[in-house]
Structure 1
Amino acid sequence: MALSTSFAIVQQQMRRAAGLVWSTSPALMIGLFLATLVAGLLPALAAWLGQRIVDAVVAAMRLHAEQGQAPLWPVLKFVLAEAGVLAALAGAQRLLSVQQSLLRVRLGQTVNLLILEKAQTLSLAQFEDADFYDKLVRARREASIRPLALVTKSLTLLQNLISLVSFAVLLVHFSPWALLLLVVGALPVFLAEARFSGDAFRLFSRRAPETRRQTYLETLLSHEAYIKEVKLFGLAPLLLERYRTTFTKLYAEDRRLTLRRDGWGFVFGLLGTLAFYAAYAWVVLDTVRGRLSLGQMTLYLTLFRQGQAAVSASLTALGGLYEDSLYLSNLYDYLGQPTSAEGGSLTLGSQPGDGLRFEGVGFTYSGATAPTLKDISFHLAPGQSLALVGANGSGKTTLIKLLTRLHSPTRGRILLDGSDLQEWQPAALHRRIGVIFQDFIRYQLTAGENLGVGDTAAFHDETRWRKAAEQGLADEVIAGLREGYATQLGRWFLGGQELSGGQWQKIALSRAYMREDADILVLDEPTAALDAAAEAVIFERFRAQAQQRMTLLISHRFSSVRNADQILVLEDGEIRERGDHEELLASGGRYAQLFDLQARGYR
C-alpha cells in the first residue's frame, strides 16, 4: 500500500477515533491530553537535574578535598528538585493509566451500543447474508478497543515528540549528528512493524469465516439448547475434532506471522542497540578527553538512552496507529452498511376495512437462482380466516415475512386497507399485527415479561399479562410456577425454571394476544407442541377472539385449518389449490390426499 494512502487512512481514522472518544467523555479526553503534556516535558527536566546533581557532587568533593568541608545545600536542592519532578512524572503516568482504564470501559460500551443500534436499522436480508456476518464479527472482535488504542497511541506519540524536542534542545549542545544517530537506529524496527501490521490485518480479515465457524462450534458444545442432541447423538468427539482442526490452522498462521514479526524485530533491534553504544562510546571518549564533565556525560548518556526509547516508541506508535486504523475501518465498514429503507408514513389506508390483498406477489432470496414465491394473489377481509397448507419449503413462512415487511416483494404488491404495504409507517403496521413464529424465542426473562415483549407499551402491565395468558392458555402454566408471573424462566440465570416445549408454546401464543389493537393475527404452527385437548381449546378461543380480525394460520394439522374460511395449498411457491375445507375435499386434489393421509393415523 502506498505511503500516501496509508497516511490518509491513519488520518481519517484518527479523526473518527478522536471524535468517538470525545463524545464518550470530553473530561477524560482533556485529562489525557494534559497528563500527556506533563509526562512529555518532565523526563528532559529530570535528566538536566541529574547533570546538575553530578556536577554539584563533583564540585562539593573538590571543595571538601581542598578545604576539609563543603556545603550540602547546593547538592540537596537539586536532589529535592529531581525527587519532585520524578514524583510529578509518576503522578502524570498514573493519571494517564487511570484515565485510560476508565475510558476503555466507557468506550467499549459506546462502541458496542453503536454496533447493536446499527443492527436494528438493517434488513432481515442483510442478516441472512454470510458476508454481512463476517463484517459483524470483524467489527465486534476488535472495534471496541481500537478507538481508544488509536487515541492513546496518538497521545503517546505526542508525549514522545515533546520529550524528543526537549531532548534535542539539550543534545544539540553536544552534536547535531547525535539526533540523526537516534533516528537512524530506530527506523528499521519501525519499517518492519509497519509491514507486519498490514500482514496481521489482512490475515485477520481473511479468516473471519473460520473464526465465526469456531464460535459456532463453541456454541454447539456449550449451549443448553444444543447440548441434548450433542450428548444423545455422541457428536462431541466430531465437533471437538473440527474445533481442534480449525484452531490448529489458525494457530499455524498466527505462529508463522509471530515468528517472522519478532525475528525481524530482533534483527533490526540489534541495529538500534549498536547505534546506542556507538553514541555511548562517543560520549565516554569525549569525557575522557576532558571535553565533557561527569555531569554532562551523565546527562548525554541519559538523553541517548531515553531519546532512543522515545524514538523507538514514537515509530512503534506510528506503526500501531496504522494497524489500529486498519482494524477501526472494520467498525466503520459495518456502520456504513446501507440501512433498510423504512419509508412510508401512512397510519391509515386509503380504503379502511378493505383488509389484506396480495396481488401477483413474487419473491426471490438474494443469491437464489429460483423464486421462493410466484404470483401469489388472494384477499383476506376483516373477520375472515385464511390457512396456508403445504410441504416444508413451499414458501409459507416467506409469505409471512412479506406480510410483516421483514422482506419486500420482488414482484407484485401487498395492500392493507387499499394502500401498498411499503407506504405504511412500519410502527403503525406492526401495531396492527400479532404474530407467533414457528421458531419463537424463549426469552430468559420472567414469565410476565415473556408476555410483555408482545407489546412493549404494556411490558409491565400485569392486567394485560393475565388477560393474554388466559387467551393463550398460559394462565395454567404460570399458576404452577414458584413465583407466578415473577418467576424467572429458563436455566441461564440463578433461580430460573425451565418449561416443557408445550408450555413454552402457550407462553408464545399468549404473547401474540398482548396486542389488543392488532386486527391481523398470524399464527405459524401455533400448536405444534400442544396435545390434542389443548389444541381444541386454543382454537375455540381463537375463533371467539378473531371475529373482527383477519387471521392467517400456517399448520400441518388439518384439525387446525379445516375451519378456515379460505385455504391455500402452496407447492413450489405457487398456489395450486384454493377454497374451503369441503370444496377442497370434493375436488380430490393435493389437499384431499394430504387430509386422507393424516386421517388414516386416527382410524
Structure 2
Amino acid sequence: MTGAPRGGARGAARRLPGLLRLTWRAAPAAATGHLAVVAAGGLVPPAAAWVTKLLLDRLTGGGAVLAPVLALAVLGAVLAMTSHLTRYLDAQVRREVGLAMQDRLFASVNAFTGVRRFEDPRFLDRIRMAQQAGQTTPMQLVSAVFMGVQSALTLAGFVTALLVISAPMTAFVLVSALPLLLVELRLARRRAEFLWGTSPAARRQGLFAGLQTDVRAATEIRLYGLGGWFRERMLGETRAINRAERTLDRRVLGGQGGLALAGALVAGAGLVWAVLRVRAGVLTVGDIALFAAAVGGTQGSLEGIVARAADGYQALLVLAHYEAVVNAGPDLPAPAVRRRAPELRAGIELRDVWFRYADGHPWALRGISLTIPAGRATALVGRNGAGKSTLVKLLCRLYDPTRGAILWDGVDLRDIPPEELRERIGAVFQHPVGYDLTARENIGIGDLSALHDLDRIRAAAVRAGVDAKLAGLPDGYDTMLGREFFSDSDADGVMLSGGQWQRVALARAFLRDARDLLVLDEPGTGLDAAAEHAVHRRLREHRAGRTSLLISHRLSAVRDADAIVVLAGGEVAETGDHAALMRAGGEYAGLFRLQADGYRLDDTEEDPAAGPSPLTAR
C-alpha cells in the first residue's frame, strides 16, 4: 500500500481496460470522434507514398498526371485538417476524463472517515502521486492508445508497400525495431520509479516554497530572518530532484541515441539495396521513392508505436498510485451491524480505553474508564501530552480505540456510522480552520443545511460576539475572508485576527444548536481577557442542560463544570468537582494554585513599607 508501483507489464495491462471504459463513459462522442480522426490520419501517409510512386512512374513513362496530383492535394488537405481536429478533440477528452478522474479520487479521499491516513507521510505522498496521475495520466494514456492506433495503421500501409517490393527487406526492417521496444519499456519503468522516488523531495520542496508566500508565516519569517533559510531548503530539495532527473536523462540519452544510430544504418543499407535494384532494372524510379518513404515511414511508425507503448506503460505504472487511493477502502472498520445513534439520555461511557497511534508507539491513553453524563458539563484537564485531544478524537471517532470501548447510551461507537455520529456532535477546536470563503460560508459550513439561511447564520454570529465585525465588512457577510485567491469579485477580501477567527468557529458550533454533545477544546484561544470572559459566559448559557465536554489549560474556565477529570500520562489521575479536587490537594489543586499565583502580586509589590520601586523613584 505504501511502496513503489508494482506489477510490471501484467499489472499495467490490467489497468488499461478500466481507464478506457472510464474514457468512453466520460466523453463518448469526443472519444469516438478522436479515434476516427486519428485512424484517418494514420492512413494518409502510406496512401500519399503510393500516389507519389504512381506520379513518378507516370512522369518517367509519359502517362497522365492530373489524377495523382489531385489525389496528393486531397490527401494533404485531409492531413492538415486531421491535425487540427486531433488537437480539438484531444482537449475535449482531456477535460471530461480529467473531471471524472478528479471526482472519483476526491470522492474516495472524502470517504476516509478517520484521520490516520492523513497523518501518514507515505500515504500523503501516495495521494500526491494520485493527484498527479489523475491530472496527467488519463490523457497521456488515451493519447498513447489513439496515436498508437494511428501509428499502427500507418505501419500497416507502409509494410504492405515494403512487402510488394521485398519481403526479406520488410522482415529486416521490422526485426531491427525490437531492441527499441525493450529499451523504451525499461526506460518507462525507470521514469515511473523516478516520480515515486522523488515524491517526498517534491512535497518538501512545495512546502518550503509555499511557506515563503504564506501570509500566515510571513510575519514570523521576516521577524526571524527565515526567508533565506527556507529558500536554501527549497533549492536543496530542487537540486536533489534535478540530480535524480539528470541521471535518468543520461540513461535515456544512452539508450535512445544508440538505437537512433542503428536505425539510421538500417535505413541507409536499405536505400543502397534499392538503388542497386533500380540499376539492375528490377525496380522503377517510383519504386525507389516508395521504398524510401516506406522504410522511413515504417521506422517512424515503429518508433511511434514503441514510444506510445512506453508512454502508456509509464502512465499505467503511475496510475497504480491513483488506484491504490481510490481502492483503499475504509480506514475505519465498517460495523458488522449498523446501529443508529440513539438520543443521548444516559451519557457516554469509556470502558478501559487504551490507544496508541501506531504499533510500537507509546500509549497515548492507558485504561481510561469514565462516564460523561447526559445533560451535564464534564471538563478534561491536564498537562500537555496528557491525552486530552486524543480522547476527543476517539469520541468523534476519528480513530478507534486500540483496546476497550466507548459507548453512546450503551451503543458501541464502532457500531454507529461515523457520519451519523458526527451529526450529533458540535465542536470548537483549539486551532480552528479559517477558510478562504465568504463570512457567511465560513459560519454556514457548521451546518450545511443553514448555508443559505442568513438569519440563522447571523443569530449564531450574534451569540459568538462576531456579528458586528462581519456585518461591518465591505460586503457584509458576503465578504471574502482571506486573500489566498484574487479575482475582481473578491478584491475586498479581508484578514481576521486570531481571536476573530475563534469567534467565527464558535458561531459554527452555535449553528449546530440541536446536537447531543458539545465539545469545546480551548475555545478561548486567541481572545483577550474581556473577550474570553464574554465567550465563556455565552458558552455557559449555551451548554446549560446540554451534554458538554470542556478542555482547557486555563482551569478558571472549567471550575464551574459539573465534573472535572484530570488526566496524567494518559490515565485518569483524579475526578470530582472543583471544590472536591481542591480539598484533595492533588494534581488539579497544584495546577490551579500555580496558575492563580501568576495573577497575584509578589510580597514586595504588596508591601507598602518596601517603598517605591527603582523605576517609580526616579
Q: Same fold (TM over 0.5)?
A: yes
- Alignment partners' CA distance in 2, 1:562 and 1:10: 62
- Alignment partners' CA distance in 2, 1:169 and 1:540: 88
Q: Percent identity?
A: 35
- Alignment partners' CA distance in 1, 2:251 and 2:138: 27
- Alignment partners' CA distance in 1, 2:388 and 2:430: 11
Partner of 2:54: 52
Which amino acid letter does the alignment assign opposite residue 95 of structure 2?
A: V
Change over 3 Å in CA distance of 1:202–1:428 after alignment to 2? closer
Partner of 1:265: 256
Q: Given that residues 489 and 498 in structure 1 are in contact (C-alpha distance below 8 angstroms), is that contact kept between their aligned partners in structure 2?
A: yes
Decide which of 547, 570, 573 is 1:573's aligned counterpart.
Answer: 570
Q: Given that residues 344 and 374 in structure 2 are in contact (C-alpha distance below 8 angstroms), is that contact kept between their aligned partners in structure 1?
A: no
Partner of 1:390: 382
- Alignment partners' CA distance in 2, 1:211 and 1:368: 29
- Alignment partners' CA distance in 2, 1:6 and 1:490: 46
Decide which of 337, 347, 350 is 2:340's aligned counterpart.
Answer: 347
Decide which of 93, 105, 118 is 1:127's aligned counterpart.
Answer: 118
Change over 3 Å in CA distance of 1:479–1:315 after alignment to 2? closer
Decide which of 253, 275, 283 is 2:244's aligned counterpart.
Answer: 253
Which amino acid letter does the alignment assign opposite residue 557 of structure 1?
A: R
Partner of 2:406: 414
In the TM superposition, residue 284 of structure 1 has moved relative to its aligned partner by 1.7
Which amino acid letter does the alignment assign opposite residue 508 of structure 2?
A: R
Change over 3 Å in CA distance of 1:331–1:352 after alignment to 2? closer
Which amino acid letter does the alignment assign opposite residue 400 of structure 1?
A: V
2:494 aligned with 1:497, yes or no? yes
- 3-state secondary structure, aligned to 1:392: coil
1:292-371 aligned at under 5 Å gives the runs 292-340=283-331, 341-343=333-335, 345-349=338-342, 353-371=345-363
1:187-266 aligned at under 5 Å gives the runs 187-266=178-257
Q: Given that residues 38 and 147 in structure 2 are in contact (C-alpha distance below 8 angstroms), is that contact kept between their aligned partners in structure 1?
A: yes
Partner of 2:128: 137
Change over 3 Å in CA distance of 1:427–1:252 after alignment to 2? closer
Q: Given that residues 344 and 516 in structure 2 are in contact (C-alpha distance below 8 angstroms), is that contact kept between their aligned partners in structure 1?
A: no
- 3-state secondary structure, aligned to 2:368: strand
Which amino acid letter does the alignment assign opposite residue 10 of structure 1?
A: A
- Alignment partners' CA distance in 1, 2:224 and 2:479: 32
Q: Which moved more, 1:236-245 or 1:446-455?
A: 236-245
Q: Given that residues 388 and 553 in structure 1 are in contact (C-alpha distance below 8 angstroms), is that contact kept between their aligned partners in structure 2?
A: yes
Q: Given that residues 40 and 161 in structure 1 are in contact (C-alpha distance below 8 angstroms), is that contact kept between their aligned partners in structure 2?
A: yes
Partner of 1:34: 36
- Alignment partners' CA distance in 2, 1:299 and 1:180: 17
2:506 aligned with 1:509, yes or no? yes
CA offsets 1:148-171 (integer angstroms, 9 cap, x no match): 222221222222222222222222
2:592 aligned with 1:595, yes or no? yes
Partner of 1:485: 477
- 3-state secondary structure, aligned to 1:562: coil
- Alignment partners' CA distance in 2, 1:408 and 1:560: 29
- Alignment partners' CA distance in 2, 1:317 and 1:482: 54
In the TM superposition, residue 435 of structure 1 has moved relative to its aligned partner by 0.4
In the TM superposition, residue 82 of structure 1 has moved relative to its aligned partner by 1.4
In the TM superposition, residue 293 of structure 1 has moved relative to its aligned partner by 1.9
Q: Which moved more, 1:202-211 or 1:45-54?
A: 202-211
- Alignment partners' CA distance in 1, 2:248 and 2:407: 58
- Alignment partners' CA distance in 2, 1:580 and 1:359: 21
Partner of 1:69: none
Q: Given that residues 187 and 315 in structure 1 are in contact (C-alpha distance below 8 angstroms), is that contact kept between their aligned partners in structure 2?
A: no
1:510-529 aligned at under 5 Å gives the runs 510-529=507-526
Q: Given that residues 143 and 330 in structure 1 are in contact (C-alpha distance below 8 angstroms), is that contact kept between their aligned partners in structure 2?
A: no
- 3-state secondary structure, aligned to 1:144: helix
The RMSD of aligned alpha carbons is 1.9
Change over 3 Å in CA distance of 1:361–1:220 after alignment to 2? same
2:404 aligned with 1:402, yes or no? no
Q: Given that residues 405 and 421 in structure 1 are in contact (C-alpha distance below 8 angstroms), is that contact kept between their aligned partners in structure 2?
A: yes
In the TM superposition, residue 342 of structure 1 has moved relative to its aligned partner by 4.5
- 3-state secondary structure, aligned to 1:375: strand
Change over 3 Å in CA distance of 1:175–1:109 after alignment to 2? same
Change over 3 Å in CA distance of 1:342–1:466 after alignment to 2? farther
Q: Given that residues 98 and 138 in structure 2 are in contact (C-alpha distance below 8 angstroms), is that contact kept between their aligned partners in structure 1?
A: no
CA offsets 1:520-556 (integer angstroms, 9 cap, x no match): 1101110111122222222222222222310111111
- Alignment partners' CA distance in 2, 1:46 and 1:298: 11
Partner of 1:443: 435
- Alignment partners' CA distance in 1, 2:592 and 2:276: 104
Partner of 1:467: 459
Partner of 2:170: 179
Q: TM-score, normalised by structure 1?
A: 0.93
Change over 3 Å in CA distance of 1:235–1:510 after alignment to 2? same
Q: Which moved more, 1:407-416 or 1:191-200?
A: 191-200
- Alignment partners' CA distance in 1, 2:187 and 2:320: 18
Q: Which moved more, 1:81-90 or 1:314-323?
A: 314-323
- Alignment partners' CA distance in 1, 2:344 and 2:313: 59
Which amino acid letter does the alignment assign opposite residue 101 of structure 1?
A: A
Q: Given that residues 147 and 308 in structure 2 are in contact (C-alpha distance below 8 angstroms), is that contact kept between their aligned partners in structure 1?
A: yes
2:145 aligned with 1:148, yes or no? no
Q: TM-score, normalised by structure 2?
A: 0.91
CA offsets 1:292-330 (integer angstroms, 9 cap, x no match): 222222222111111211112112222222222211122
Partner of 2:615: none
Partner of 2:75: 85
In the TM superposition, residue 6 of structure 1 has moved relative to its aligned partner by 4.1
- Alignment partners' CA distance in 1, 2:143 and 2:475: 50
Q: 5+ unaligned residues in a row in structure 2: which ranges?
A: 1-6, 486-490, 601-618
- Alignment partners' CA distance in 1, 2:361 and 2:104: 35
Q: Given that residues 107 and 144 in structure 1 are in contact (C-alpha distance below 8 angstroms), is that contact kept between their aligned partners in structure 2?
A: no
In the TM superposition, residue 422 of structure 1 has moved relative to its aligned partner by 1.7
- Alignment partners' CA distance in 2, 1:403 and 1:412: 13
Q: Given that residues 8 and 317 in structure 2 are in contact (C-alpha distance below 8 angstroms), is that contact kept between their aligned partners in structure 1?
A: no
Q: Which moved more, 1:325-334 or 1:351-360?
A: 351-360
Number of residue pairs the alignment of both structures matches: 587
Q: Given that residues 474 and 492 in structure 2 are in contact (C-alpha distance below 8 angstroms), is that contact kept between their aligned partners in structure 1?
A: no
CA offsets 1:130-165 (integer angstroms, 9 cap, x no match): 221121122222342112222221222222222222
- 3-state secondary structure, aligned to 1:388: strand
Q: Given that residues 468 and 510 in structure 1 are in contact (C-alpha distance below 8 angstroms), is that contact kept between their aligned partners in structure 2?
A: yes
- 3-state secondary structure, aligned to 2:116: helix
Q: 5+ unaligned residues in a row in structure 1: which ranges?
A: 64-73
- 3-state secondary structure, aligned to 1:222: coil
Q: Which moved more, 1:282-291 or 1:442-451?
A: 282-291
Which amino acid letter does the alignment assign opposite residue 57 of structure 2?
A: D
Partner of 1:66: none
